[in-house]
Amino acid sequence: MRDFPDFNEATIAAIATPPGSGGIGIIRVSGPQSQAIFQQFFQPKNPPKKIISHRLYFGAIVHPKTRVVMDEVLAVYMRAPQTYTREDVTEIHGHGTLLLQEILAQIVTFPATRLAEPGEFTKRAFLNGRIDLTQAEAVAELLGAKTKEGARLAVDQLRGGLHGDIWHIRDALVAIRAIMEVAIDFPDEEMEILDTPALKIRLEREVQEPLLRLLARAEGGKIIREGVSVVILGRPNVGKSSLLNCLLREERAIVTELPGTTRDTIEECLDIKGVPVRIIDTAGIRETVEAIEEIGIRRAQQKMGEADLVLLVLDGEAGLQEEDLALFEMAAGKKVVVVINKIDRVTCVNSALYEKAFFGRPVVAISALNGDGIRNLEEAVYEAATGGQGLQEPGAAAPNVRHTAALQGALVAVQQVGEGLTAKRSPDILAIDLQDALSFLGDIVGETTTDDVLDIIFAEFCLGK
C-alpha cells in the first residue's frame, strides 16, 4: 500500500447528505476522535452499560459547553476497520440543514478535528486500501449519474467490475514477466525460454485481447456518462418544435401554424433508453430578409455542426422538397435520421422513396401531433447514438477517459513486447516494455498514481463524500 504519513491523524467531519430542505440529514465523522466525539456530544435516552459498535442509538445532541439539547437524533459509533473509511466513524442523523450545521460547527471545535475536504472520506477509504481508485471514481460518478443506466454503470464499477478486469490482466503480465526474469537469469537458455509460440499466445489471449475488449467497452461508457447531443433541423413549419415537445412530453416550445415561429435554439435534456440526450430545437431554415430570423438560422447551423446526430424533419403532407435535400447536403458528414412528420395527414408514406433520396439513412414516419411513431424514432436515435451496438452487456464496467488513456498506453507497450518476441530481442528490453504496461495498469487502480492526479480526482467530489 502507498505510504501516506500523517494523513489519518486529523479527525474529519462533514454533512454527508445534500443541502436544502429535507427531513433528516447525516453528519459523518471519521478518524481517531470519533468515539470521543460520540461520547461528548451524544446522550442516549436509555444509557447502555457499554456502547456497542455499529448499533444505532436514540438520544440527544447536547452542546459541549452549555449542555443545552441541540437536537433529538439517532447516532451510531462504528469501530474501525468495518467502516466506509476503515477508520473509526461516528454518524449522527439529525434534523434539517440549519441544526446540522450548528452541530457540525461544534464538532469541529473538538481537539484534532476539522472540516472534511470534498471527497476526503472516499480518499481515506482509498488510501486505507478499502477501495481502489476505479471504485473511488465510481462513487463520484454514482452521485453525478444523469440516468439510471449511468448509475448502474457506476455501481458495477463500485462493486469492483473494472478493478477485477484490470487485476486479471495484471496477473497475466506478472506471470509473463516472471518467465522473462528466468530468461535474464539463464542467458544460455534464453532462446529456448522465450522462443516458444506459447508465450506469444499467452500474451495475446491473456493480455492483448482483454485490453482490446475493455477499450471496446469504453465507447458505450462514454455515451452513458456524457450523453449525446441531437439537433432537430428542417424547413420552417415542418413540426420541429412539436417534435421537441412530443419527445419531452411537455409543451416546452411555442408551436404555431406560422412558419418562422422558433427564432432561437432551445435545449433540453431527456433520457432515451438510458442514454442522456441533449436535444436542441432550432429555427426553421429558409431564405429570409429578417435579421432576427437570420441570426436564429445561423445558430441552427452552428448547433448542427456541434451535434452528434441530426434529426432532419420533413413535412410528410407536403412531400419531399428541394430545400429538404439542400439541408441534407448541409448535414453531410453527420449521422442523420430522417423524420417524416405529419403522417396523420397522409394515407401512406413511401419510405422506400425517402430512403433512396437520403442514401439509405434511417427514415422514421411520425406524427408529432398525436405521438404515432415516436417510440420508433426513439429507437432509431438510440441505435444511431450507440452505433447500432447497444450499450453494454449488464454487469460490464466501462473505462472512463482516464482509464482509456492508460489502457491504450498499456496496449502499445504490450504490442512492443509481442514484436520484440518475434524479433528475438533481448529479454532485458522486453522486460522494460512489460514494466511499462504494468505501470499503466497500476495508474488505473491507483497503485502508482501521482498525488497530483489523486488531488484532481478527489477535488471533483462534493462535500461530505
Ligand X SMILES: Nc1nc2c(ncn2[C@@H]2O[C@H](COP(=O)(O)OP(=O)(O)OP(=O)(O)O)[C@@H](O)[C@H]2O)c(=O)[nH]1
Which of positions 219-238 make contact with ligand X (CB under 6 A)?
Answer: 234, 236-238
Contact characters 257-286, ligand X, x per CB under 6 A: x-xxxx--------------------xx--
Quick one: which of 10, 182, 369, 453 contacts ligand X (CB under 6 A)? 369
CB 317 within 8 A of CB 345: yes
290: which DSSP letter?
-
Using CB under 6 A, which of the segments 69-77, 119-127, 365-373, 390-398 binds ligand X? 365-373
**Min separation Cβ 324 and ligand X, Å:** 12
DSSP for 330-361 reads HTTTSEEEEEEE-GGGSS---HHHHHHHTTT-
| Interface of this chain with Mg ion, residues 239 to 278, rule: CB under 5 A | 240-241, 261-262
* 368 binds ligand X, rule: CB under 6 A: yes
Say how far apart CA 238 and CA 230 lie, in whole Å: 17
Nearer to ligand X by C-beta: 368 or 396? 368
Q: Are strands 275-281 and 55-62 parallel, antiparallel or unpaired?
A: unpaired
Contact 252, 244 (CB under 8 A): yes
- The single residue listed with the C-alpha cell 470521543 is 36
Q: Which residue is nearest to ligand X (CB)?
A: 284
Residues 6+ away with beta carbon under 8 Å from 346: 316, 317
- DSSP letter assigned to residue 189: G
Residues 6+ away with beta carbon under 8 Å from 5: none
Q: Which of 344, 379, 383, 447 binds ligand X (CB under 6 A)?
A: 344
Say whether residue 416 binds ligand X (CB under 6 A): no
Cis bond before residue 44 (omega within 30° of 0): no
- To Mg ion, the closest distance from the beta carbon of 301 in angstroms equals 15
Closest Cα to residue 26, out of 122, 84, 86, 103?
103
| Distance from chain centroid for Cα 365 | 33
- How many residues of this chain interact with ligand X, rule: CB under 6 A? 24
Q: How far is the CB of 327 from ligand X (least distance, A)?
A: 12
- Is residue 418 close enough to count as binding ligand X by CB under 6 A? no
* Minimum distance of Mg ion from residue 256's CB (angstroms): 8
Selection from Mg ion, ligand X, none that 128 binds (CB < 5 to 8 A by kind) is none
Judged by the rule CB under 5 A, the positions of this chain that interact with Mg ion are 240-241, 261-262
Judged by the rule CB under 6 A, the positions of this chain that interact with ligand X are 234, 236-242, 255-257, 259-262, 283-284, 341-342, 344-345, 367-369
